[in-house]
């Protein structure tokens, strides 16, 4: 047995899971909420682990922003801690909690190898044409402004699963990670070459509470109308997307309302689906012929209706959904495309914790 502890330490919660990387089985998992003191939260987690008799041999940490510094996971040392700290301005909501988690784990498990796994790392293979914004070069360089992309651990995991499912050495295709947050990724031979999130996780698809793509002038316009930057930030991150358009952030609620003929909900579904469809088209244009379009995360894995809406009308691009296969509820990797579809449409459940455990074990050499 090789138990690896996976830690996802946010600003106010601590999520953990121990995974046996020999079998990929989850041995124990937990969530400590309303965390104000990360040291105390780790003491509670250590007590929970002790009570369950599980002793981890390495620890993997989810870290949201690795900037341009990390294209791979990294064994935590003082340099890595300093680098994560220096990236706080780019991820003020996430990196401080992640950093506190690493420090808490170092105090709780001195001597164990700790690995930082970055949400941004998988996208470091993007070419400049995809990651650069067409802005003043001086500002760009002075403030490290570029597309970083997120959900990299999920896109990496799902791309590898898709390659395996298709019996190919590497995957080429489009992955739609549609959860509470959402992002699209163009993958060429197993490497990310474009993704919809940007400098921050606000860009791209319509999400539960985030707007995704906007005309950036909307921000200046709202500021000129008298809203403070904080108010605009809050609105676009917490009160936009499905939440902003309908008052409900959970797609299940929006679908239920749409099925009861709620026009507001119906229109929100159309906005959501069209945005995702546009990214599929854009990435097809960038990639050329692809093996598959892959759906993952809460919405992608569970909502046959959203898969139907997003793929509707894409037959001319070789993407044809099988409506019956699409309805089958299943937790395994599966193909929901028609037999004559040139591009496969796959549903692949993501597992970011498992990917963090695997990457941690690889780097720790266990």
Q: Rounded to the nearest whole angstrom, what is the least distance from the CB of residue 110 to ligand AMP in the complex?
A: 33
Instruction: Return the number of the residue (3 or 300) whose C-beta is nearest ligand AMP.
Output: 300
Instruction: Return the number of the residue (240 or 251) whose C-beta is nearest ligand AMP.
Output: 251
Does residue 119 have an active-site annotation?
Answer: yes
Of 97, 101, 298, 349, which lies in the binding site for ligand AMP, with binding defined by CB under 6 A? 298
Instruction: Return the number of the residue (307 or 338) whose C-beta is nearest ligand AMP.
Output: 307
Specify the stretch interacting with ligand AMP by CB under 6 A; choose among 108-116, 136-144, 293-301, 309-317. Answer: 293-301
CA angle 344, 349, 350 (to 5 degrees): 115
DSSP 3-state assignment of 190? coil
DSSP 3-state assignment of 51? helix
Q: Give CA–CA dist 25/48, Å, rounded.
A: 18
Specify the stretch interacting with ligand AMP by CB under 6 A; choose among 71-79, 96-104, 233-241, 292-300. Answer: 292-300
For residue 34, the Cα-to-chain-centroid distance in whole angstroms is 23
DSSP β-ladder status, 344-347 and 182-188: unpaired
Q: Give CA–CA dist 78/170, Å, rounded.
A: 35
Q: Does 126 bind ligand AMP (CB under 6 A)?
A: no
Q: Which residue has the tokens 């502890």?
A: 5
Q: Rounded to the nearest whole angstrom, what is the least distance from the CB of residue 76 to ligand AMP in the complex?
A: 26
Of 14, 186, 297, 357, which lies in the binding site for ligand AMP, with binding defined by CB under 6 A? 297
Q: Rounded to the nearest whole angstrom, what is the least distance from the CB of residue 296 to ligand AMP in the complex?
A: 8
Q: Which residue has the tokens 């020999």?
A: 22
Any bridge partners for residue 62, and if so which?
117
Instruction: Return the number of the residue (58 or 299) whose C-beta is nearest ligand AMP.
Output: 299
Of 20, 140, 250, 335, which lies in the binding site for ligand AMP, with binding defined by CB under 6 A? 250
Q: Rounded to the nearest whole angstrom, what is the least distance from the CB of residue 191 to ligand AMP in the complex?
A: 23
Specify the stretch interacting with ligand AMP by CB under 6 A; choose among 61-69, 89-97, 119-127, 294-302. Answer: 294-302
Of 39, 50, 164, 252, which lies in the binding site for ligand AMP, with binding defined by CB under 6 A? 252
Q: Do 116 and 74 touch, CB atoms closer than 8 A?
A: yes
Q: Which residue has the tokens 């605009």?
A: 232
At 225, list the tokens: 């109308």
Q: Does 303 bind ligand AMP (CB under 6 A)?
A: yes
What letter would DSSP give residue 53? T
Specify the stretch interacting with ligand AMP by CB under 6 A; choose among 82-90, 94-102, 107-115, 295-303. Answer: 295-303
Q: Does 345 bind ligand AMP (CB under 6 A)?
A: no
* Residues whose CB falls within 8 Å of the CB of residue 145, separated by 6 or more in sequence, listed in order: 133, 135, 139, 199
Q: Does 256 bind ligand AMP (CB under 6 A)?
A: no
Q: Rounded to the nearest whole angstrom, what is the least distance from the CB of residue 326 to ligand AMP in the complex?
A: 13
What separation, in Å, do the N-terminal and C-terminal C-alpha atoms of the chain show? 11
Q: Does 302 bind ligand AMP (CB under 6 A)?
A: yes
Q: Give CA–CA dist 196/281, Å, rounded.
A: 13
Q: Do 183 and 151 touch, CB atoms closer than 8 A?
A: yes
Q: Does 299 bind ligand AMP (CB under 6 A)?
A: yes
CB atoms near residue 47 (< 10 Å):
10
Indicate the residue whose CB is closest to ligand AMP. Answer: 298
Of 144, 180, 209, 235, which lies in the binding site for ligand AMP, with binding defined by CB under 6 A? 180
Q: Does 251 bind ligand AMP (CB under 6 A)?
A: yes
SS (H, E, C) 204-242: CCCCCCCCCCCCCHHHHHHHHCCCCHHHHHHHHHHCCHH
Q: Which of 22, 25, 48, 119 is catalytic?
A: 119
Q: Which residue has the tokens 């998992």?
A: 29
Please identify every residue annotated as catalytic.
Answer: 119
Q: Which residues bind ligand AMP (CB under 6 A)?
A: 179-180, 208, 250-252, 255, 297-299, 302-303
């Amino acid at each position: 047995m090789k138990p690896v502890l996976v830690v996802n330490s946010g600003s106010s919660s601590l999520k953990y899971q121990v995974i046996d990387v020999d079998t990929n089985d989850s041995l124990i998992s937990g969530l400590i909420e309303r965390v104000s003191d990360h040291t105390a939260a780790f003491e509670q987690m250590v007590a929970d682990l002790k009570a369950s008799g599980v002793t981890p041999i390495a620890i993997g940490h989810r870290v949201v922003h690795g900037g341009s510094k990390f294209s791979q996971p990294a064994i935590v040392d003082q340099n890595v801690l300093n680098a994560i700290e220096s990236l706080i301005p780019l991820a003020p909501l996430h990196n401080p909690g992640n950093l506190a988690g690493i420090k808490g784990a170092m105090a709780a498990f001195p001597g164990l190898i700790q690995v930082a796994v970055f949400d941004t790392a998988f996208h470091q293979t993007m070419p400049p044409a995809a990651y650069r914004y067409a802005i003043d070069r001086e500002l760009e360089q002075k403030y490290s402004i570029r597309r970083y992309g997120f959900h990299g651990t999920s896109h990496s995991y799902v791309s590898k699963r898709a390659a395996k499912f298709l019996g190919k050495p590497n995957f080429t295709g489009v992955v739609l990670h549609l959860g509470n947050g959402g992002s699209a990724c163009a993958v060429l031979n197993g490497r990310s070459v474009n993704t919809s999130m940007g400098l921050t996780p606000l860009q791209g698809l319509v999400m539960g509470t985030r707007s995704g793509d906007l005309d950036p002038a909307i921000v200046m316009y709202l500021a000129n109308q008298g809203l403070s930057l904080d108010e605009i930030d809050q609105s676009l991150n917490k009160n936009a997307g499905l939440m902003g358009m309908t008052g409900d952030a959970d797609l299940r609620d929006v679908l239920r309302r749409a099925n009861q003929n709620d026009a507001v909900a119906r229109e929100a579904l159309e906005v959501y689906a069209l945005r995702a469809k546009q990214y599929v088209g854009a990435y097809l244009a960038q990639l050329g012929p692809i093996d598959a379009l892959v759906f993952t995360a809460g919405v992608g894995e569970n909502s046959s209706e959203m898969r139907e809406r997003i793929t509707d009308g894409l037959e001319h691009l070789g993407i044809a959904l099988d409506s019956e296969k699409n309805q089958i509820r299943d937790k395994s990797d599966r193909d929901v495309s028609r037999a004559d579809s040139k591009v496969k449409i796959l549903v692949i459940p993501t597992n970011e914790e498992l990917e963090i455990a695997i990457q941690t074990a690889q780097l720790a050499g266990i």
